[in-house]
Amino acid sequence: MIEVNRLMDESENILEDPDKIEEVENIIREEEKVILERIAFFSRNEKAVGNTFKEEILSLVANKKIDEARNLCATKKSCVASAVKKFLEKAEKGMEVQDYEFILKEITIQETSPYESRLNLLSSIISISPMLGLLGTVTGMIKAFTNISKYGAGDAAIVADGIAEALLTTAAGLMIAIPVIVVYNYLNRRLEKMENEIDDIVTNIINIFRR
């Protein structure tokens, strides 16, 4: 029991290392900046178009009121409405199916690219952070066993440094990755919803144009 307590005391001292703690805090602060910027961007630029938007647009297009449909899109602060408006500006009745599909793909990429910006960074953080934590775990355990091979296992302080390093890096990797996973999944679902709405409305418009 005495040896266990000594090991815990030594580990706590290392975990309280101000340099290591400051390094982790700096990484978390940078991560928070990216997260808050992305959430603010989505909230500022993507508003719901409303439950009746699709029906109103399709009704106007079916009645050949294309200008009115464009004007309706212009009243909405939404990636979906903007994409539909651009499609109505570029597409017209009588075009080939592949031409409609090309326009749809081009517009979807143009409209969603700003929302995808920096999501790749969040994805990279999700992938890299646990790996760095695992790397630190491995190096910490290597240090612990190296000390044991040099000095024996009689003193808990010999292995405390390596074990504490392993625990610290594992905790740091998880602290960085977990909130990013939550935010990334949330924003990615919003992006997928936008893309699906664009595809749904524009596909219906194409069907009207091809009648």
Sheet strands (E) in 21-160: none
| pLDDT at res. 19 | 59
From first to last of its 211 residues, the chain has per-residue pLDDT tens of 334 344 444 444 444 455 555 666 666 677 778 888 888 888 887 777 777 899 999 999 999 999 999 999 998 888 999 999 999 999 888 888 899 999 999 999 999 988 888 788 888 888 887 787 777 778 878 887 887 777 776 666 767 777 777 777 787 778 888 888 898 999 999 999 999 999 999 999 999 998 8
Count CA atoms within 13 Å of residue 48 on its CB side.
3
| 86 token code pair | 């651009």
Q: Which pairs count as long-range contacts for 95-101, CB under 8 Å and 24+ apart, including other chains?
A: 95/209, 97/206, 97/210, 100/206, 100/209
Map tokens 């392993």 to a residue: 166
Q: Are 132 and 149 in contact (CB under 8 A)?
A: no
| pLDDT at res. 11 | 44
Q: Which residues contact 30 (CB under 8 A, 6 or more apart)?
A: none
State pTM to two decimals: 0.72
| pLDDT at res. 25 | 64
| pLDDT at res. 22 | 64
